[in-house]
């Protein structure tokens, strides 16, 4: 399983944003929506081995976490408006029970921030995408069960940094330039795809 945890420092945890102006009304939830597309979708397909956690730290209902689980989700389309509509409907739901409240197959909402993610995710090797760190091409990656923390356009806040350090996440870089969060995810995903393909080729399994 691949998991991407995207931190939205200002991204709204409430449904009161406009579908025709997501960047201007949602605390830049659009940045996180592009991360969902990059992590979960490929050309004409959905990655069933991938889970994305959106940590929403903006607005009156924050913090909340939206979990999108590729093993069960259906009807995810690559256009941002469609993704925004999916998230808006999910955020309109209450999440009164402890932990993740399932909204529909593959989509769940929880109160809390990284604490609920770490309680939920199970055994994974944690990495943090960090500019200037060891290049992902040279890194030892746990291909079968890895979790990657990703910052939004503002990077990571202090509280989040402390939690990430507390779980001993290994910093990895994706090149010499600070790229958009969704591009960083696409690079990591591509590296994992390549490594998996090499493993399959070595084993003679396709
Ligand atoms: C647009 S960048 C954040 C820039 C922000 N101004 C900052 O100072 O952190 C969004 C996120 O993508 C990831 N990222 C971007 N470029 C990267 C790189 N070259 N190597 C590793 N991660 C990168 C990091 O997780 C970063 O927090």
Mean pLDDT of 188-195: 96
Mean pLDDT of 64-77: 95
Q: Is 173 in the pocket of ligand 1 (CB under 6 A)?
A: yes
Q: What is the pLDDT of residue 144?
A: 86
Q: What is the pLDDT of residue 75?
A: 84
**8 Å CB contact between 127 and 149:** yes
pLDDT tens digits for range 175-190:
999 999 999 999 999 9
- Ligand 1 atom index nearest CA of 128: 25
> Alpha-carbon distance 151 to 116, whole Å?
18
Mean pLDDT of 43-57: 97
- Ligand 1 atom index nearest CA of 150: 25
Task: Average the pLDDT over each of 108-117, 129-138, 141-150 and give the range with the smallest value.
Answer: 141-150
Q: Is 155 in the pocket of ligand 1 (CB under 6 A)?
A: yes
CA of residue 178 to ligand 1 center, whole Å? 5
Q: What is the pLDDT of residue 130?
A: 97
Q: Is 59 in the pocket of ligand 1 (CB under 6 A)?
A: no
- Ligand 1 atom index nearest CA of 155: 9
Whether the predicted model's global pTM rises above the 0.75 cut: yes
Q: Is 180 in the pocket of ligand 1 (CB under 6 A)?
A: yes
Mean pLDDT of 12-19: 98
Q: How many CB atoms lie within 10 A of CB 100?
A: 22
Instruction: For residue 52, list its beta bridge partners.
Output: 4, 68
Q: Is 181 in the pocket of ligand 1 (CB under 6 A)?
A: yes
Q: What is the pLDDT of residue 61?
A: 96
Confidence band of 204 (pLDDT split at 50, 70, 90): confident
| Tokens describing residue 123 | 């055994």
> Alpha-carbon distance 144 to 59, whole Å?
35
Q: Which of 80, 183, 86, 67 is nearest to 136 (CA)?
A: 183
Probe ligand 1: pick from 139, 155, 173, 178, max atoms within 8 Å of CB?
178
CATH of 2-203, one of 3.40.1030.10, 3.30.1330.10, 1.10.3210.10, 3.40.1280.10: 3.40.1280.10
Nearest CA to ligand 1 atom 8: 155
What secondary structure, in 3-state letters, does the chain show?
CEEEEEEEEEEECCCCCCHHHHHHHCCCHHHHHHHHHHHHEECCEECCCEEEEEEEEECCCCCEEEEEECCCCCCCCCCHHHHHHHHHHHHCCCCCCCCCEEEECCEEEEECCHHHHHHHCCCCEEEEECCCCCECCCCCCCCCCEEEEECECCECCHHHHHHHHHCCCEEEECCCCCCCHHHHHHHHHHHHHHHHHHHHHHHCCC
Mean pLDDT of 101-120: 97
Mean pLDDT of the chain: 96
CA of residue 121 to ligand 1 center, whole Å? 23
Mean pLDDT of 124-138: 97
Q: What is the pLDDT of residue 206?
A: 65
CA of residue 140 to ligand 1 center, whole Å? 20
Percent of the chain with pLDDT over 70: 100
pLDDT surpasses 90 at 96: no
């Amino acid at each position: 399983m691949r998991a991407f945890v995207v931190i939205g420092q200002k991204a709204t945890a409430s449904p009161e944003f406009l579908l025709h102006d997501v960047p201007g009304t949602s605390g830049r939830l659009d940045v996180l929506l592009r991360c969902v597309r990059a992590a979960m979708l490929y050309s004409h397909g959905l990655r069933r081995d991938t889970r994305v956690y959106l940590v929403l730290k903006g607005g009156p209902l924050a913090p909340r976490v939206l979990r999108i689980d590729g093993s069960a989700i259906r009807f995810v389309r690559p256009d941002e408006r469609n993704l925004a509509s999916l998230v808006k409907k999910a955020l309109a739901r209450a999440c009164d029970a402890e932990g993740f409240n399932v909204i529909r197959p593959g989509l769940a909402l929880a109160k809390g921030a990284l604490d609920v993610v770490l309680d939920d995710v199970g055994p994974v090797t944690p990495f943090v995408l960090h500019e200037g760190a060891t290049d992902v091409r040279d890194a030892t990656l746990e291909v079968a069960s890895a979790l990657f923390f990703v910052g939004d356009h503002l990077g990571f806040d202090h509280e989040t940094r402390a939690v990430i350090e507390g779980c001993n996440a290994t910093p990895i870089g994706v090149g010499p330039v600070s790229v958009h969060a969704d591009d960083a995810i696409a690079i990591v995903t591509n590296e994992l795809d390549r490594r998996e393909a090499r493993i399959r080729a070595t084993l003679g399994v396709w």
